[in-house]
Structure 1
Amino acid sequence: MSSSMGSSLLERFGGELGIYIHIPFCKQACHYCDFHFSTSLKKKSELVNALVKELQLRKDEFKNTTVETIYFGGGTPSLLTIDELRLLIDEVYKNYSVAENPEITLEANPDDLVSIRAQSKTIFEEYKSVGINRLSIGIQSFFEADLKLMNRAHNAEEAKNCLQEATKYFKNISIDLIYGIPGLTNENWIKNIETVLSFDIPHISSYALTVEPKTALDTFIKKGLVKNVDDDLAQQQFHILIEKLEASGFVHYELSNFGKPNYFSKNNSAYWQGKPYLGIGPSAHSFNGNERGWNVQNNSKYIKAIEQSILPIEIEILSITDKYNEYVMTGLRTLWGVSLEKVERDFGENYKIYLLEQAEKHILEHLLYLDEGKLLVTKKGKFLSDGIASDLFMLNLS
């Protein structure tokens, strides 16, 4: 389903707004990744121009909102030049109401940050000059064997050099780490965590390696070239992560995210709390509280449509059951939990009764607990939270 410039895809929604800008380019394909991206940069300029135009086309959809966060995700946004980043950030300011001090995050790879050299300023100073105030750096591991298995573009030395330089200019830094990698021992996993802590990084996003269908990793495992992921080992490493980071002053505020006080990701927290967001670029998703939209997952089709002032978007109107299920899924992943009062207020008493009935067995198994009217996941249940949430979903109201 597509929408023209004259019609609004998403219902106007008052309050805060996050803008996500998808940069669908990478130097090379990581073996585990199933996100939308291209390793050819031929259409990068055309794509950036299309992103600018989409920002213009959609400015009326969220008229009564204030942009609190701008997030460059991908793909690899650090492949954009400073001028391209400046162009996109300026376009947001021209077309939207922006908060006084918005969180502006750039996802970046270590090899880009250590290889880019400006004539008079470091790349970090350049980023700050265009308004970027938060970096999310895709480290994943500090061990060469892990990086090669995942086909990462950087090496361990570049990862460390990158953090050494980045921390001179940015305090608000997040890094990504992956656990459960075949061959990654608990000993080396602890070393990964300790290396991050040595740089005084205030935010860590950490994920279990998952084998997505049709990825290179999936093929290698099926051919016996790589060992399959060991779920028990991944769970051990998840609990090691929690123990180490909480002992170092981090708050485990979302299943995959740990932040020191005042360093939680405002962008991601908005997703988990059900706030509206606007997704710009191919494959990007948008949400206004009642509808979800997603752009076509093809660079050429996206560019062609936007050039014709057509938004290449499909939309789904969310039912009350969809909204309940989404709230349960996101709430259980966070320290804020699932509020029984909110469930009853927003979805009705039947939903609250159903939720408590479904939760009972998990409470008895010490995977869930109730605290001050909120349903929360125990430490024992955290690794299983997505599966637990699915048990609480309402499939059919009748």
Structure 2
Amino acid sequence: MAGIYIHIPYCKQQCHYCDFHFSTSLRTKEDLLNALQKEIALQQKFLEGQNIYTIYVGGGTPSILKQKELNRLFDVLYQNFPVAIDAEVTIEANPDDLTAQKVKELKQTPVNRFSIGVQSFQDADLQFMNRAHSAEESLSSIKRVQDSGWENITIDLIYGTPTLSDIGWKNNLQTAINLTVPHVSAYALTVEENTALHHFIEHKKCAPLSEEKSARQFLQLMEILPKSGFIQYEISNFAQEGFYSQHNSNYWKGEKYLGIGPSAHSFNGMKRQWNIANNLRYIQQISQGIVPAVIEKINEKQRYNDYILTTLRTIWGVNTSFVKSHFSIDFEHFLLNSAQKWIDSDHLLRNNELLTLSEKGKLMADYITSDLFWVD
């Protein structure tokens, strides 16, 4: 169930909260597309011939690319890797890019799943976040994609913003339900260093975020979407039956994946690597036939911690039998001992060999996860 991620590091403008790697200048775009094609060929052996069941084109803003540019990447990808006929092929898209012409062009690509960066259906929130689209464009883009025959659509929503009231958040969720999108990814706004939002808060141009509001709106999220048939299969991801993100699910299940492009991460079971987060240096290195990546071999402790980190967030949970069979006996003992106080306090649920987060445990997911980490 291996997957491939392609990073397109370009955006029209910088969102105030975003710390992903991207550029608002397109002057290197042609050179970078050539480098992506070359890296695909250079990385042909990374997944050891495994069939590719998911492809995810993210960013940045991949929808900034033209249909011919996307197909250049897909063509090289399909030439170098055994891609399954029914592979899930996702593209991230901003609502303002999804014009009638763009949607028509995307019908001529392998894309069969959209991830639309809505963030909010309210203009005040979008302006606060410095998004390039309007609330009306969010609505029209989703309907346009649906009317063109795509059913497998996910939208991103952000809660906990200073401009978002509880009523506004409930309205956003209800709008998503009314649009019949089968998948919603919802994230609490966070403050990352070197972002405009961090600068605004530091210089008192914006009030600090409210953890209480974020927690309250997270509880509303867990209450409202499941009433309409959504399954919370991961802390931030809700889907109707049959519409889980296969690509992200494979991340959480520890499957192998290859990342192509500047700042992209890869994992093949025994080592992980991440490419340099610099477009010009990436292009230069790739042109010389060198993949500019930091490579890290993973020891047993790191593999255990990665397993806890990715699985505890999901409905599949931590499998104590898996820990027993894949790690030294000390790790099983440590896990069971560390988990017991969280089981006793009803933050963790134990069902035979499975450990999963309860609803109140999900409010403390990061803290509980770190408490289950093996630390020397």
Task: Tell me the equivalent position of 1:103.
Answer: 88
Task: Provide the rounded CA distance (Å) in 2 between the counterparts of 1:372 and 1:361.
Answer: 17
Query: How much has 1:364 moved relative to structure 2?
Result: 1.8
**Residue 173 (structure 2) aligns with:** 193
Q: Please point out which of 355, 371, 385 is paired with 2:335.
A: 355
Question: Residue 351 of structure 2 corresponds to which residue in structure 1?
Answer: 371
> Matched residue of 2:359: which SS?
coil
**Is the partner of 2:55 in helix, strand or coil?**
strand
User: Hey, what's the Cα distance between the residues in 2 that align with 1:337 and 1:323?
Assistant: 16
Check the 8 A contact 1:109/1:138 in 2, yes or no: yes
2:40 to 28, 37, 55: 55
The amino acid across from 1:198 in the alignment is N
Q: Which amino acid is 2:249 matched to? A: S
Structure 1: tracts of 5 or more residues without a match: 1-15
State the distance in 1 between where 2:265 and 2:49 align: 20
Amino acid at match of 2:262: P
Identity %: 47
Alpha-carbon distance in structure 1 between the residues aligned to 2:197 and 2:45: 42
SS of equivalent residue, structure 1 residue 105: strand
State the Cα distance separating 1:142 from its structure 2 match: 1.0
Q: Distance in 1 between matches of 2:352 and 2:340?
A: 16
> 1:19 touches 1:70 (CA, 8 Å); kept in 2?
yes
Tell me if structure 2 keeps the 8 A contact 1:139–1:177. Answer: yes
- The aligned residue for residue 229 of structure 2 is 249
In structure 1, give the amino acid aligned to 2:266.
S
- Give the corresponding residue for 1:223: 203
- Stretches of structure 2 that go unaligned for 5 or more consecutive residues are none
RMSD: 0.9
- TM-score norm. by structure 1 comes to 0.93
Residue 122 of structure 2: aligned partner: 143
Q: Distance in 2 between matches of 1:39 and 1:205?
A: 25
Are 1:302 and 2:287 an aligned pair? no
SS of the counterpart of 1:129? Answer: coil
- The alignment covers a number of residue pairs equal to 375
Partner of 1:326: 306
8 Å Cα contact 1:167-1:199 kept in structure 2? no
Instruction: Give the Cα separation in 2 of the matches to 1:240 and 1:134.
Output: 27
Given candidates 279, 291, 299, the residue that maps to 2:271 is: 291
CA contact (8 A) 1:176 1:206 kept: yes
CA distance in 1, matches of 2:195, 2:78: 38
Q: Are 1:34 and 2:19 matched, yes or no?
A: yes
Alpha-carbon distance in 2 for matches of 1:224, 1:62: 48
How far apart are residue 290 of structure 1 and its match?
A: 0.8
Q: 2:28 aligns with which of 15, 40, 43?
A: 43
Secondary structure of the structure 2 residue equivalent to 1:39: coil
Structure 2 distance, partners of 1:375, 1:62, is 30
Letter in 2 for 1:296: I
Measured after TM superposition, the shift of residue 383 of structure 1 is 2.2
| CA distance, structure 1, for counterparts of residue 279 and residue 61 of structure 2 | 15
For 1:81, the aligned partner's letter is: K
User: Secondary structure in 2 aligned to 1:59?
Assistant: coil
Q: What is aligned with 2:260?
A: 280
What TM-score comes out, normalization by structure 2 length? 0.98
